[in-house]
A = this chain, B = another copy of it.
Amino acid sequence: MSDVEIGRAKRARRVYAFDDIAIMPSRRTRDPQDVSTTWSIDAYQFDIPFLAAPMDSVVSPATAIQIGRLGGLGVLDLEGLWTRYDDPEPVLAEIRELPAADATRRMQELYSRPIQPELVTARLAEIRAAGVTVAGALSPQRTQELYETVVAAGVDLFVIRGTTVSAEHVSKTGRPLNLKKFIYELDVPVIVGGAAGYTPALHLMRTGAAGVLVGFGGGAASTTRRALGIHAPMATAIADVAGARRDYMDESGGRYVHVIADGGLGTSGDIAKAFSVGADAVMLGSTLARATEAPGGGWHWGTEAHHSELPRGHRVEVGSIAPLEQILFGPSTVANGSMNLVGALRRSMATTGYSDLKEFQRVEVVVAPYSVG
């Protein structure tokens, strides 16, 4: 730990963002087509280690199905527009047409509509009917209220996702979710987060979760640092949680909890870096919101953007650049890291001589700020 003194009464650790690091070539190279990008968690196998983030601009039932067919996993936000509106299309259209000055306020209104449990059931059934792996996400605050509906509707993977989720939530008024008990009793594997440090992640692993989301609500559309002062640069966050995975595996006698990077993955270069510092899979937001099929229609926003009292994110225009399949598998017609995400990951692994993702976690990285290149 490179510990520095902020002032007489405070010390701090130096941490690193994706932009601070880079991957280094090694003495061996490899053909990109010889590289494997498969990922499996619990009983589920995926050709590509990409989860589409439970955000209304990214995942609809239709895109969840499409992502599943393309080899990844689409996670539907069960507290988003799809479970609040019978037909969310006009609402999505309204959001993308909102003038900038009005956007936050109007989104606060649109998202104040109550969640309808029967829509939760219907949306998940639609995905299940297509034969792909079914995953839905709830916030910790809503999990107790809605999980039975979700489980009854049938999910393969249950995602509990908040900006910061801890194994030990304290509340004087409500009954906080007891994650350990909840996960133990649930028959479905749970992915939970965000966690952005070694200790919080280790505690989440001890709840029995199958995977931990690494993040803190800090993606492309977030202003958490400005609003709360909280920021957990992703390179350090992932490497810390990977350390927790290693130590928990020892402590638990061999249970491997998956580390899923969630947030701040703006380019294919960032995705490669996430694996290079220890991720098993990545949860993608803005990169997939650029697909022509994405429900955001070229706009992107997270749940933080419409928080009723303290919004901590913006609706941002990301553009519609290509069909989802082309964004994932190419061919790319641009050189900015937004297309052929899987091809870029393969090439990054091949250029540094690695043949699978687990090995690629050992690739050499360097600290190289200042220059853009």
Contact = CB atoms under 8 A, between A and B. Distances in A.
Interface of A: 1-2, 4-10, 12-31, 33-34, 104-105, 108, 163-174, 176, 195-200, 202-203, 216, 218, 222-233, 235-246, 264, 267-273, 276-278, 304-305, 308-314, 330-337, 340, 343-344, 347-348, 351-353, 355, 364-373
Given A230-B348, A373-B225, A15 B169 contact: no
B311 A332 contact: yes
Q: Which 5 A-B pairs have the closest CB atoms?
A: A7-B239, A8-B243, A22-B231, A229-B272, A229-B269
B239 A6 contact: yes
A229 B276 contact: yes
Contacts of A313: 335
A331 B308 contact: yes
A167 to B, nearest CB: 7
Contacts of A13: 364, 366-367
B174 A336 contact: no
Given A168-B28, A226-B336, A229-B273, A6 B16 contact: yes
Contact of A242 (B7, B226, B310, B368): B7
Contact of A30 (B171, B244, B373): B171
A7 B26 CA distance: 16
Given A8-B243, A15-B368, A19-B371, A310 B340 contact: yes
Contacts of A246: 8-9
A263 B245 CA distance: 39
Nearest to A346: B310
Nearest to A246: B9
Contacts of A31: 169-174, 176
Contacts of A9: 239-240, 242-243, 245-246, 277-278
Contact of A7 (B202, B236, B352): B236
27 contacts: A7-B15, A7-B16, A7-B198, A7-B237, A8-B246, A9-B240, A10-B235, A12-B366, A14-B367, A17-B373, A18-B229, A20-B371, A22-B225, A22-B229, A23-B231, A24-B230, A25-B216, A29-B169, A30-B170, A105-B333, A227-B268, A227-B344, A231-B371, A232-B366, A236-B366, A310-B330, A314-B335
B366 A228 contact: no
Given A25-B195, A228-B351, A10 B242 contact: yes
Given A30-B171, A370-B20, A272 B228 contact: yes
Given A195-B25, A228-B351, A335-B227, A367 B15 contact: yes
Contacts of A12: 16, 21, 364-367
A355 B233 CA distance: 25
A321 B50 CA distance: 41
A246 B10 CA distance: 12
A273 B6 CA distance: 12
A356 to B, nearest CB: 13
Contacts of A174: 31
A197 B28 CA distance: 11
A27 to B, nearest CB: 5
